[in-house]
Amino acid sequence: MKTVEYQTIVDAVAKLCIDGNYYLGEDVMNAFKKGLENEVSPTGKDILKQLIENAEIAANEQVPMCQDCGVGVVFLEIGQDVKIEGGYINDAITEGVIKGYADGYLRKSMCDPFTRKNTGNNAPAIIHTEIVPGDKLKITVAPKGGGSENMSAIAMMAPSAGIEGVKKFIIERVRQAGPNPCPPLLLGIGIGGNFEKSAILAKRALLREIGETSPIPEVAELEKELLEKTNKLGVGPAGLGGKTTVLNVAIEYHPCHIASFPVAVNINCHAARHKSIEF
């Protein structure tokens, strides 16, 4: 049995919050550069150059790449042979988020839904926990901004809608979202499961590296087709027109009820942030 200390988790989560907001993933940076090569719109090219420069400034000066430092979304994979010592793991994560958002000069965005009063410390985190075999503890922090989360959607489709129905739903969602979610986008899609499972699959799909395809050939084919089709919409960088609308499409797939066909799309802005640590 492995033991992980409460304070170790606090410090790790704090660092992941800060690093996630300061340092854009290399895969996203490379996708910007590839987009810049392929983009035909002069304005689109200019926006992509701004995004590259922005990411460089954030990393060099250690400031958040986006002022919306997001909700502290945390994915936990806890090996069943791991023991957390010194306190409750969710408390450690909350403490880590509070510490990270304070120490890193990150914006606190959590508030009461009705009164809109800010909680003041970005707590509570939103924690998704999975118990897995073995004795490893993996923590992923994926700060998520409000602008792109607001453009996300779920559809409980009729099974007769089929794969064409999925394509139509996703493409129309990207078209309607237009400039709002800060394109170029990353699309995380959950197909199957049930209402809540499809949504969590969609969010989890956003943790994939850009270019990493589904192991299921038909699903990988759909990822490719959706990437091509959404990039024909003309939305472009910042929604000002162009060919670079979506940088990546990642689909997670799961069996569903015979009566159901749930599809969820979680839209991520170009500030696609996630950092992990494993103990």
Partner 1 sequence: MATKYLTPPLTDEALADLKIGDLVYLSGTIYTGRDAAHKRLVDLLNAGEELPVDLQGQVIYYVGPSPAKPGNPIGSAGPTTSYRMDAYAPTLIAKKGLKGMIGKGLRNADVKKAITEDKAVYFGATGGAAALIAKCIKEAEVVAYPELGPEAIRKLRVENLPVTVINDIYGDDLYEEGVKQYNEE
Residue numbers of the site for partner 1 (CB under 8 A)?
40-41, 43-44, 47, 50-51, 53-54, 57-58, 61, 63-69, 105-109, 116, 118, 120, 146-147, 150, 178-182, 229, 232-236, 238-243, 269-271
Q: How far is the CB of 213 from partner 1 (least distance, A)?
A: 24
Q: How far is the CB of 184 from partner 1 (least distance, A)?
A: 10
Number of Cα atoms under 13 Å in the Cβ half of residue 214: 25
Q: Which is nearer to partner 1, 28 or 202 (CB)?
A: 28
CA distance 184 to 234: 11
Q: How far is the CB of 13 from partner 1 (least distance, A)?
A: 19
Helix (H) or strand (E) holding 217: helix 217-230
C-alpha dist (Å) from residue 181 to 43, 115, 142, 167, 237: 18, 25, 17, 19, 11
Q: How far is the CB of 107 from partner 1 (least distance, A)?
A: 4
C-alpha dist (Å) from residue 121 to 58, 76, 99, 105, 115: 22, 21, 8, 11, 16
Q: Which is nearer to partner 1, 104 or 193 (CB)?
A: 104
What 8-state DSSP symbol labels residue 106?
A: P
Q: Which is nearer to partner 1, 180 or 276 (CB)?
A: 180
- Greatest Cα-to-Cα distance within the chain, rounded to the nearest angstrom: 58
Q: Which is nearer to partner 1, 115 or 160 (CB)?
A: 115
Q: How far is the CB of 74 from partner 1 (least distance, A)?
A: 20
Q: Which is nearer to partner 1, 9 or 69 (CB)?
A: 69
